[in-house]
Amino acid sequence: MQGTAGEGVQWSSKAAFILAAIGSAVGLGNLWRFPYVAGENGGGAFVVFYVICVLLIGLPVLVAELFIGRRGGMSAVGSVVKIAKAEGRSSLWSLQSWFGMIGAFIILTFYSVIAGWVLAYVVMIGGDLFASIGRDGLAGLKAGAFAGQTQEQVSAKLGELLSNPTRMIIYHGIFMIITVAIVARGIKGGIEQAVTILMPAFFVLLIILFGFALVEGDAGQGVNFLLGVRFDDLWAGVKNGSVISAALGQAFFSIGLGSALMATYGAYMTEDQDLPRSSRLIAIADTGVGVIAGLAIFPIVFAMGLDAGGGPTLMFQTLPLAFYGMPGGGVFGLFFFLLAFFAAITSSIALLETSTKWMDEQSKGDHRFKSAAVLGLVIFGIGVLNAFSQVPTVGANGEDQTTFWNTWQPMGFVTLFEGMVLLDFLSATTDIILPLAGFITAVFAGWVVSTSTAREAIGFKSEIWFQRWRFLIRYVCTTGIFIVIVYSTIIAPLLN
């Protein structure tokens, strides 16, 4: 079995690592979360703050996580313990990786449910498209998504899905089976093979959709909304800390920082891999995909006169309505949700790998399949509860659908989590855990790891760039993350 503890398994090539790392970063955070968060926070101004957060905080922390993983060569927890002991420091510094690994585990419990929604839309739009082709021949390719149905019926698709927990659980289960099957086969036999197929397909679909949006959508308004920057908006963003907080939170969620993903993948890196260059490629690719996804989504949304600030339902209600009203929307709607599904898989295998590698280390043997299966089963079980928590209390026909799970607020007595059912609570929890883990990572990499060790482990070709990274990780990252944590967890709830 590939990738068991103690075997010294490494990526088979530099390209394989880059594809896997980009795949772990590029996911629903880019296609689902980035567009709606940008839409809710003013578009262009948010993108500016997001890019600044990536450059000044995200990239330095990414470098730190990768060098910790490569230097330690173990799970995220094991690598920090190994480095801390070598530096004569306490193994308690592994708390950062525990936070990250637990955060990745929690994310997958609801990420897989949302990915199940994506799969459901692939089936719905795909089935409708093939029915149109069977009915009208090749002319059916020109039809919009859900041809022959009313706009109200299309708009109700998400509500119907959420009102049927059995459907949600089935799709959630299928997604987890695929994820576990890939991770159980190890690095070379599973993860590498998956990303070398899925990532090229992902980028081809993204380019096709981008071209479709520019031709069929309102490109001018979409570009102006996402990339148009006005000084008043920037100043309002500075005064309104929630925009900057959202930008940093998106950077962490999207790139996978603080979740032990990059430290885990870094453990499989070879010594001759250019770590700074790899980090730049990952950050650029992830940011680029988010922006291009926005440029593929907002022109379509504006062309159909829909709301760009549609929130979390932008992907599942607003976009299907847009594809419904556009020529060829059935084909391109299917392409979009396939794109999202591929992105979800490449991220989910990284999320599961973080805890699988640690669990495999503890077993001290060839038990990867068992580790992945056990973890996957637990994640599936929690995901079932997350699915039940999303069932609307009132059905489409006004019937009462109230249950314990869709009304239970685990921490509703805390202002920060007020009104949040289980899935929303777990999502909000990871918004705190990831930056906290990132903060501890920055402190560990900047202040605990010696300068000589960091310099050797990272391998900057220029001393000037090393000193720049050292300054950013020590002062800018720690200060910036700390301020955002305090604002988002203490100040913002009081203001609301």
Identify residue 457 by its one-letter amino acid code. A
Residue 9 resides in a domain: no
- The rounded radius of gyration (Å) of the Cα atoms in the chain is 22
400, burial (CB in 10 Å: exposed 0-12, middle 13-18, buried 19+):
exposed
Q: Which residue type sits at 446?
A: G
Residue 352 domain-assigned (yes or no): yes
In the chain, how many domains are there?
1
pLDDT in tens, the chain (496 residues): 333 333 468 898 888 999 999 988 888 777 777 777 777 777 777 888 888 989 999 999 999 999 999 999 999 999 999 999 999 999 999 998 999 999 999 999 999 999 999 999 999 999 999 888 888 787 778 888 888 888 888 888 999 999 999 999 999 999 999 999 999 998 888 999 999 999 999 889 889 988 988 888 888 888 887 887 766 666 665 566 677 777 887 888 778 888 899 999 999 999 889 999 999 999 999 888 888 888 888 888 888 887 766 666 778 888 888 888 888 888 988 998 999 999 999 999 999 999 999 998 887 766 889 999 999 999 999 999 999 999 999 887 788 899 999 999 999 888 888 899 999 999 889 888 988 999 999 999 999 999 999 999 999 989 999 999 999 999 999 998 998 888 878 877 776 6
Report if residue 166 sits inside a domain: yes
Domain ranges, residue 350: 14-495
Residue 3 falls in which region: left (phi positive, over 0), alpha (psi -120 to 50) or beta: left
DSSP 6-72: TS----SSHHHHHHHHHHHHSSHIIIIIHHHHHHHTTTHHHHHHHHHHIIIIIHHHHHHHHHHHHHH
Tell whether the torsion through CA atoms of 63, 65, 69 and 72 is positive or negative.
positive
Residue 8 lies inside a defined structural domain of this protein: no
321: CATH? 1.20.1740
pTM of structure: 0.91
* Residue 135 C-beta-side C-alpha neighbours within 13 Å: 12
What are the start-end ranges of the E strands in 287-434?
none
Q: Does any domain span residue 270?
A: yes
> Considering the domain boundaries, does residue 4 fall inside one?
no
Residue 344 maps to a domain: yes
Residue closest to 179 by CA, chosen among 5, 11, 332, 347: 347
Number of helices and strands (H, E) in the chain? 25, 0
Nearest to 416 by CA among 312, 311, 490: 490
In a domain, 7, yes or no: no
d(CA 429, CA 404): 21
